Amino acid sequence: MNQYPLITGHRGSHAASYARPVGWPVMLGIFLVIAVLAVFFGLVAVTANIIIVALAAGLLLGTMLLAMPIWSIWIVFFAGLMVVGVLPLWVDFLAAKSVWAVSLLGFLLFLGAIYRVLTTPGLASRTPLFLWVAFGFLAFCVVNSLAQWHSAGEFLGGFKRYFQAWGLMFALAWTVRDGTHMDRWKKFLLIVALTQFPFALYELLVFVPKREALAMSIPGLVPIDVVAGTFGANLYTGGANAEMATFLIIVLAYLLAQTREKTLPRKYLALLSLPVLAPLFMGETKVVVILLPLMFVVLYRRELIARPHYGVVGLLIGALLTAAAGAFYLSLSKKTLDQEIADTLAYNVYEKGYGNYALNRTSVLTFWAEEQGLRNPISFAMGNGLGSAQTSASFVPGHIAERYPGYGIGLTAASTLLWETGIFGSGLFLATLWLAWRCAARLRRIAGDPAVRGDAATIQVALAIFGFYLFYRPSLLDTLTFQLVFAALLGYLAWLHIRIEERSMGVEADTGDVMASGRRA
């Protein structure tokens, strides 16, 4: 049975509208549009430029997909989480183009979502506050960047990096009505988690030896960093191994939460947990020893008070997994435990720069504070515009980053937000996470469906991890695969909130009994 019943609208008779003749102004308008499009695509074709032709074809296909948001969401999910991350390993020249294709479709989803919220009575009032704050953050970034205009490349690159997956978030909240689709997408995300194991194993057996041969000629190359599943890896640079591990930890939290709510049998927990955990022990992702305890503490924090014995068991399991992961990572290192701890503290907390940068994850924040002052209060309050602190070689260098070459001012999402959006923009982003946490907490309190309570608990774990990630990497602002996970979870949370609001308002003809109907994990 469908966990969330089909959401149907009122259907009246539309026979008369189909029989109504079309007037000549409409026919003339259609003819003119067809003529203009014919000329446009003809000019595109004669350029013989494959990139321009592909963009034009993508524009046409994307426009057609505006009328089919469910298909668009499926394409974004599948291409974003299963295709774009592995393309650099085999066809690197197509990787950037595939990311742009998914990003463009995401922006089209955003347009469709805006149209839906503007044309659906009451939908805006039922939307959770965190989604409106997220929308406000997007609007602020655009207006602020235009007011502090530097260059088109910097602005477009920054906007694309920040919001390339946000269309999915708004589309899930505002365009999806049928809970059956949500069930299918949840299963798909679980399948994505399970497929990380074979991909990670393949990368470990095939690409790690190749990178070991390249390590002597490429300074700083860490061979095992290529083990990143489908979340993004490159033979000559590295991979999103931490992002893959983070996603798997969130999925593990989901399995534990649903087992706690008795919507997932324990035998399935054991069966599914093994392939989910296995990739964590195939690479050298040291942040796992922080994220695993964080996940268990957030997930079992209530049990520690209400049912201490149950909570302690959960924390012990987490401690054992963390110890096993730590021992495995230490076995890959040539350093002792004391040396590893000292080195980690040096380039994360003390004065040593991270990698080739002059700053590390702590000093990048104190350096931002030191550079602010009365001489430029706008930078402190509003930042310097999207893309201004971008330091990655994959994007147009930001004009603020060029002012501090080699510093790495965009090392983390937190420092990037401060430089580009200031205290105000950073506050909006943090407020989005905080309000989403409160929304999930409310769902846990009022939901009659145990599966929804498990989902809400999982989202709270993810939000805590995202909060930590702001100070760890810039992935929330520039890595498509990880941004899709972020957008999917917040979009699903908003969808659940809207369904509950509709039920509480008695919109039975539209929603049915949403929260009391689910029986599946």
pLDDT of residue 62: 63
Angle among Cα 363, 368, 371 to the nearest 5 degrees reads 120
Range ranked top by mean pLDDT from 42-56, 90-104, 188-202, 214-228: 188-202
Q: Average pLDDT of 490-499?
A: 96
Q: Domain for residue 28, yes or no?
A: no
Q: Domain for residue 313, yes or no?
A: yes
d(C-alpha 223, C-alpha 121), whole Å: 55
Above 60 in pLDDT, residue 132?
A: yes
pLDDT of residue 103: 87
Q: Computed from CA positions of residues 170, 180, 434, 359, in that sequence, does the dihedral angle turn out positive or negative? A: negative
pLDDT of residue 518: 40
Q: Domain for residue 490, yes or no?
A: yes
For tokens 């965009």, name the residue. 410
Amino acid occupying residue 327: A
Above 70 in pLDDT, residue 73?
A: yes
Q: What are phi and psi of 239, to 5 degrees?
A: -155, 165
Listed range (183-187, 213-217, 451-455) with the worst mean pLDDT: 213-217
Above 80 in pLDDT, residue 433?
A: yes
pLDDT of residue 213: 82
For tokens 């690409």, name the residue. 207
pLDDT of residue 376: 82
Instruction: Give me the numbers of helices (H) and strands (E) for the chain, helices first please.
Output: 26, 0
Closest CA to 395 of 478, 300, 506: 478
**Half-sphere CA count of 89, side-chain side, radius 13 A:** 27
Q: In the structure, what pLDDT confidence band is assigned to residue 245 with cuts at 50, 70 and 90?
A: very high
Q: Domain for residue 20, yes or no?
A: no
d(C-alpha 342, C-alpha 350), whole Å: 10
Q: Domain for residue 12, yes or no?
A: no
Q: Which domain holds residue 95?
A: 66-344+412-507
pLDDT of residue 356: 81
pLDDT digits (tens, 9 = 90+) for 261-287: 999 999 999 899 999 999 998 887 888
d(C-alpha 403, C-alpha 24), whole Å: 60
pLDDT of residue 503: 82
Above 70 in pLDDT, residue 462?
A: yes
pLDDT of residue 512: 38
**DSSP structural state of residue 239:** B
Q: Domain for residue 354, yes or no?
A: no
Percent of the chain with pLDDT over 90: 47
Q: Domain for residue 177, yes or no?
A: yes
Above 70 in pLDDT, residue 34?
A: no
Select the more confidently predicted residue: 338 or 399: 399
Range ranked top by mean pLDDT from 10-24, 279-293, 499-513: 279-293
Tokens describing residue 43: 């000019």
**Structural domain count of the chain:** 1
pLDDT of residue 519: 40
Above 80 in pLDDT, residue 6?
A: no
Q: Domain for residue 244, yes or no?
A: yes
Q: In the structure, what pLDDT confidence band is assigned to residue 16 with cuts at 50, 70 and 90?
A: very low
pLDDT of residue 21: 52
CB of 98 within 8 A of CB of 84? Answer: yes
pLDDT of residue 452: 94
d(C-alpha 482, C-alpha 243), whole Å: 6
Written as one string, the DSSP assignment of 275-341 is HHHGGGGTS--TTHHHHHHHHHHHHTTTHHHH-HHHHHHHHHHHHHHHHHHHHHHHHH-SS-HHHHH
Q: Average pLDDT of 342-363?
A: 82
pLDDT of residue 492: 97
Select the more confidently predicted residue: 137 or 104: 137
Q: Average pLDDT of 127-141?
A: 97
pLDDT of residue 47: 60
Select the more confidently predicted residue: 50 or 364: 364
**Half-sphere CA count of 86, side-chain side, radius 13 A:** 17
pLDDT of residue 520: 40
Above 80 in pLDDT, residue 112?
A: yes
